[in-house]
Amino acid sequence: MKPTRITPFPNGEIGIVWDDDHETYLSNHRLRCACPCAVCVDEMSGRKILDDSRVAADIAAMAIHAVGQYGIGIRWSDGHDTGIYTYRTLREMCECEACRGEGG
């Protein structure tokens, strides 16, 4: 699956329209807390280092850019910008009824 459109919304969500026409909406806060980079997740153990309570509730995506053909990078309002969110991970994060019940 690949996105055909990624849109940051003023309400604090990022909307993704996929090539199968499915739509995913993810909150900025949830995405920032799910950052997979080495600053946020220990590379050796896979243990999460980032303390979600230290991420501002109103965190904003300042810029979104493609990373190869497999993911996106986001520059956050807190200055963080090293995470790569794969398309697969973004799709798996979808919480819509269809994805929760059928796995996407």
For the chain, what is the mean pLDDT? Answer: 95
Q: Which domains does the chain have, with CATH numbers?
A: 3-98 (3.30.2020.30)
Measured CA to CA, the distance from residue 95 to residue 83 in angstroms comes to: 21
| Local structure of residue 82 (DSSP, 8 states) | -
Which range is least confidently modeled, 18-22, 23-27, 95-99?
95-99
Q: Does 104 have pLDDT greater than 50?
A: no
Query: What pLDDT score does 99 carry?
Result: 87
**Residue 1 corresponds to which amino acid?**
M
pLDDT digits (tens, 9 = 90+) for 55-97: 999 999 999 999 999 999 999 999 999 999 999 999 999 999 9
Q: Does 6 have pLDDT greater than 50?
A: yes
